[in-house]
Structure formats: structure tokens, C-alpha cells
Amino acid sequence: MLTKRIIPCLDVKDGRVVKGIQFLELRDAGDPVELATIYDEQGADELVFLDISATHEGRKTMIEVVREVAATLAIPFTVGGGIGSLEDMRAILRAGADKVSLNSAAVRQPELITEGARYFGSQCMVVAIDAKYDHDLGSWRVYTHGGRKSTELEVLKWARQVEELGAGELLLTSMDKDGEKTGFDLALLQAVQQVVSIPVIASGGAGDASHFVDAFQDAEADAALAASIFHYKETSVANVKDILRQNGVHVR
């Protein structure tokens, strides 16, 4: 039986992990490989690296990070952030990443999803959707550029569309819940699960281990991603998995 996946997410800028990470045992708090190794040891099933470098140099450094992570870790990982062309995807996948995640670029150029799927396979094409509830729309709206820009797209329609275009997985972030620590957006997750048949990664809102139980049991998420709850050591991947096991959720 397939297990539910727990995925820590690391923000990387110019080759260093940013967003105050508190691992006391760390010699160097900003080293992506060192952090990734700790999460691997805790039992993380996958990792996501979000490249938030603003400069060309920073992006080039990211390739080095990817290469080093792939050389060190024997678990799958995804790289997202600023990927806008087939060339970007090829560079990251060749450096050893297992999947790439498209967000703004997928909205701007939906055919990138199809081209990526054709060249590299659907299994490595993750589409990230940042969703925010819109009362006028009566549904969720797609945002891009790290949540700064709203689009005309409706989340459920967009989710269906990216699956048809060849996406292998959805990384669904609730902007309403992000940072709130009150749990994942179960209504959003349930709605998206109704309309797609590719795996959905829940993101945004994790505040404690019980929230993961809800995402898996009530919203049938296939995986759940979190950042600060792990970085600030409010809980660990191992602890989340213990709680999931106690609640009858199948984990590795």
C-alpha cells in the first residue's frame, strides 16, 4: 500500500537556505545539503527546494546545490522557483533533481507543461498552484509571483487543465491558510481532489501533527508539505509520522 508522504520545503537564496531555520545541531544554519540530510534522517519522504534567488548568479548556484543534494541524498526531491523554460528544466533535472515545479511560468505559458512532460515525462512535472478564496467568484482564484499577483484563473478549472496538459502532480498551497498554523485548507483540498486524478500535495497551514492527520484522513491528500513547523522544530518529521501511525495513517 502506498504511504502518505511528508515533504519539508526549503527556501534557497543564492545557494543558502533562508527563513530562520533552527536546528541546534547544525554547524552551518544555511547549508541546504546539511539541512536536507537532517530531514532525510528524520524520515522525510521527499524534499522541495524553492529557489528564491533574484539574480542570474544565484540561479547558477542553485544548480550546484541540486548537484550536491543529489550526490548526498537517496530520496527524491523537487526544485521549483523561477523555472521558465525547457532549458531551465533540463539543467535542473540533469543536475540530479527528480522533479521540477512550475508556478507562474505554467500560467504564462501553459504549453511548457506539455513540452516538459513530453521531454522529461509527466512524473517529473509538478505544477504549483497558489490558491486564495474569492468571495465574489464563490471559489478559489489562482495567484502567481509568490502570491503577489492575482489571475483570472479559477483553481478547480486550472487544476483540471494542468492535468490534461501533462502535469504529474499538484502542489496546492492555500494562501488563506499559509502561515496561520490552523491546519491545511481541507475544503480546498477536497474540492481539488474531486476534479483531478493526479496526486495532490497539501501545503499551507500546518501548525501541529494533528493537521497532517486531517489532511490525509479528511481531505485524502497524497502528500503534505510544510516549512516553518519543521524549521522551527515545533515538531519533527519523525514525530508527525508517529502521530499519523497512531491514527491509522499508513506512512513509511
Partner 1 sequence: MIGIIDYGMGNLFSVSKALERLGVPYTLSHSPQELEKCQGLILPGVGAFPDAMKALNKTGMKQYILNKVEEGIPLLGICLGMQLLFDESEENGTTEGLQLLPGRVVRFAGKDAAGHAYKIPHMGWNELQHLQPEAKLLSKMDGGYVYFVHSYYVDTPDKHVVLASAQYETEVPAVVGKGNVYGAQFHPEKSSTTGMKILENFCNVVRDQEGVER
Q: Where is 14: in which H helix or E strand?
A: none
**Of 11 and 45, CB closest to partner 1:** 45
* x/- track of binding to partner 1 for residues 199-228 (CB under 8 A): x----------------------xx-----
Q: How far is the CB of 112 from partner 1 (least distance, A)?
A: 18
Q: Where is 188: in which H helix or E strand?
A: helix 186-195
208 a catalytic residue: no
Q: Check if the beta carbon of residue 73 is closer than 8 Å to that of residue 42.
A: no
- Total residues interacting with partner 1, rule: CB under 8 A: 30
Torsion, Cα 24 229 74 63, to 10 degrees, reads -90
Give dist(CA 86, CA 74) in Å, integer: 25
State which of residues 80, 110, 116, 168 lies at the interface with partner 1 (CB under 8 A).
Answer: 168
Does 42 interact with partner 1 (rule: CB under 8 A)? Answer: no
Q: How far is the CB of 50 from partner 1 (least distance, A)?
A: 20
11 a catalytic residue: yes
Residue 251, all three cell numbers: 506512512
Q: How far is the CB of 72 from partner 1 (least distance, A)?
A: 8
3-state secondary structure of 127: strand
Taking CA atoms, 150 is separated from 62, 82, 142, 171, 250, in Å, by 27, 17, 6, 18, 37
Q: Which of 88, 130, 214, 222 is catalytic?
A: 130
Specify the length of the chain in residues: 252
Does 163 interact with partner 1 (rule: CB under 8 A)? Answer: no
Q: Which of 11, 88, 178, 214 is catalytic?
A: 11
Give dist(CA 196, CA 26) in Å, integer: 40
* x/- track of binding to partner 1 for residues 81-110 (CB under 8 A): ------------xxxx-x------------
Q: How far is the CB of 143 from partner 1 (least distance, A)?
A: 26
Give dist(CA 18, CA 79) in Å, integer: 15
Catalytic residues: 11, 130
What is the binding site for partner 1 (CB under 8 A)? 1-3, 5, 40, 45, 67, 70-71, 74-76, 93-96, 98, 120-124, 168-169, 197-199, 222-223, 252
